[in-house]
Amino acid sequence: MDRSLPDIERMVDDWERNAAEKAARYQAMSQEVQQVSITGSAADGAVMVTVGANGIPTAVTMTSKVRQLEPERIAAAVMEAMRQAQSRYPERLAEIMSQTVGDDSTTRHLLTEARANFPDPEPDADPGAARQPRPARDPEDPDDFSNSSFMDGGR
């Protein structure tokens, strides 16, 4: 396969253009993900929790209805509302990825991680039950991304 210098230059130019376009799409995705805001509610709307990027809670709101609840039920309702909001994060992330970067191995990995970290709430689950923490990242394994996010550079 013998290629001329102009052919090679054109290939390099195409590769650079494609890389720049892909980087721009991932930057757009990152900016949109940073703007995510999803609210879940519990206890007949007495408690609302809003989560943002990566499902991190950004606000907890309570109405006067919480006065009728026992403290344990308020705490359980906060967790229930947070899990409800977080469980919708993977769907929103999929929408953003579809609109910006499309389907590739990176987006599939990110969605798999988001779904693992924020599964749908169990219908029969105890709303006060604690969530299982993510396993700690193995500092000796450079390929261990189990506790990393594409938003924080793998830290």
- For 44-89, write each residue's pLDDT tens digit: 999 999 999 888 999 999 999 999 999 999 999 999 999 999 999 9
Low-confidence ranges of the chain (pLDDT < 50): 124-134, 150-155
Please state the three-class secondary structure of 37-51 as a single string.
Answer: CEEEEECCCCEEEEE
Of all residues in the chain, what percent carry a pLDDT higher than 90?
51
Residue 41 · residue 66 · CB < 8 Å? no
* SS3 assignment, position 29: helix
Please report the domains of the chain, with CATH numbers, ordered by start residue: 5-117 (3.30.1310.10)
The greatest distance separating any two alpha carbons of the chain, rounded to the nearest whole angstrom, comes to 80
Non-local (6+) Cβ contacts of 43 within 8 A are 65, 66, 69, 73, 74, 77, 80
